[in-house]
Chains A and B, each alone.
Chain A
Amino acid sequence: MDQKPFSQGLLSSEADSQRTLYPYVTGTSVVALKYKDGILMAADMGGSYGSTLRYKSVERMKSIGKHSLLGASGELSDFQEILSYLDELILYDNMWDDGNSLGPKEVHSYLTRVMYNRRNKFNPLWSSLVLGGVKNGEKYLGMVSMIGVHFEDNHVATGFGNHLARPILREEWHENLSFEDGVKLLEKCMRVLLYRDRSAVNKLQIAKITEEGVTVSQPYSLKTFWGFSAFSNPTVGAEGSW
């Protein structure tokens, strides 16, 4: 580790190159909900470079160990760093080889500690994480923000999803959704996001985790409708304006 004079720490201008200031390549919302058999999570496959929709095949959801599924929005390189940490965590967990394994609650708690610690050092991992899983029949769904704010709920979302998807979920989510209803509900949320979030791309994956394990769907597109009459002559009400 490089040594810096004590007075400089991480907050001087020279040290700016050592810590995260802004995100560069980012993923947009992740939406997830609990259903009858486990958790359903959806995220599109876009990686934006500022306002450019640069990368269109980014997998933003990964399985962790036997019992968990992680989805991330925000800086994608930080997501990859987090996956690297979790890889090591799961490796050591497996090396015990003693029948015990880290469940979603433990992974969520671990991630919270990591994110909060980085925030305290003014060098955050610029990601919002969604952690879902099932262990011993118990469903778990939680979120961790880049500053270490964490909580559990029946449905969660990151970024724009909080503003556009959560209100839909609050109205329409209920206990013991079937798989089909869960997917329909997620697609409804993702469609709204596709219409209204400029960093959304129309190529998404839906992942499901149950007691049996994780399945991530093949990428697919949502059907959209743009045939509104207001779009055929958009400037009709704005004549004479600048």
Chain B
Amino acid sequence: MFRNQYDTDVTTWSPAGRLFQVEYAMEAVKQGSAAIGLRSKTHVVLACVNKATSELSSHQKKIFKVDDHIGVAIAGLTADGRVLSRYMRNECINYNFTYESPLPVGRLVVQLADKAQVCTQRSWKRPYGVGVLVAGLDESGAHLYYNCPSGNYFEYQAFAIGSRWQAAMTYLEPRFENFMDSSREDLIKDALISVRETLQEEKLQISVCTVAVVGVGEPFHILDQETVRKLIDTFEIVREDGSPAPEPGDAAPDLGEAAPAAAAEEGAAPMDI
């Protein structure tokens, strides 16, 4: 995108009918670290890459529990994401107090989208710079939605946002049609593999990723590190090409037969944050 004379204000249209400020806000989402969501008939899994500004600091929190039946993962301006999470928590708790029932996910998502839309139509506001993956369960089943800074939202079977989201989508695209019938474990495994795809050179370690699940009979919660480590180990043992890898947790995994898919993980190419 190039600078132009129509991009100063969110309330200025370009002659081609575009709102550049809104589009720039969507760019901000792509700058954040990756967040991925997948859903089956009974479960929704969110997984994200945790980045820290330096080795000495803590990781950015990107997954938020909104209610027992809803959780979100964000990418982009995490401060905006926190504010929106607080709004969503408020809406859920107010609905629950009045109706003693969980707020249907579809309704929360529309409310969130309408809130984002307001910021695209006021000259004294700016769009939220965060993409929100909403994972939730209600009477009509398991749902995964993506809420955009533009105020648009869509329901997805699987979706990835943030930096190198294309790598994750490339993994998910040929497989998503089967996700409806996936088991909980397979869904988590696919989520972790998608996260790995976005970490081109890095190895998938528990310090880098967070996984959260919500499902029938299972309230939204973030999986603890031990569980995630065991899951990563389980699928590292049998790679996609079927060749076994030796001890898990090795700094430089050695393969029986050199497999092109796994080779991308080796090497010490510098990473951009």
Contact = CB atoms under 8 A, between A and B. Distances in A.
B100 A100 contact: no
Nearest to B101: A106
A105 interface: yes
B107 A96 contact: yes
Interface in B70-118: 97-101, 104, 106-107, 110
B98 A110 contact: yes
Interface string A88-128: 00000000101110110110111001000000000000000
Contact of B100 (A96, A98, A105, A136): A105
Contact of A100 (B97, B98, B139): B139
Contact of A109 (B99, B110, B139): B99
A105 B139 CA distance: 14
B138 interface: yes
10 contacts: A96-B106, A96-B107, A96-B110, A98-B104, A98-B106, A100-B106, A105-B99, A105-B100, A106-B100, A109-B99
B139 A136 contact: yes
B58 interface: no
Interface residues of B, number: 12
B123 interface: no
Contact of B107 (A98, A105, A108, A113): A98
A92 to B, nearest CB: 11
Nearest to B109: A98
Contacts of A103: 101
B140 interface: yes
A82 to B, nearest CB: 15
B138 A109 contact: no
Residue from B99, B106, B107 with most neighbouring chain A CB atoms (10 Å) = B99
Nearest to A135: B139
Contacts of A108: 100
Contacts, number: 33
A151 B51 CA distance: 50
Contacts of B140: 99-100
Nearest to A114: B98
Contact of B101 (A98, A105, A136): A105
Nearest to B140: A99
A100 B100 CA distance: 15
Contacts of A102: 99
Nearest to A107: B99
Interface string A111-155: 001000000000000000000000010000000000000000000
A33 to B, nearest CB: 22
B98 A113 contact: yes
B12 to A, nearest CB: 33
A102 B140 CA distance: 13
Contact of B99 (A96, A98, A106): A106
Contacts of B97: 113
Nearest to B138: A100
Contacts of A106: 99-101
A108 B101 CA distance: 11
Contacts of B104: 98, 100
Interface in B103-158: 104, 106-107, 110, 138-140
Interface in A20-40: none
A109 B100 contact: yes
Given A99-B140, A100-B139, A136-B139, A110 B99 contact: yes
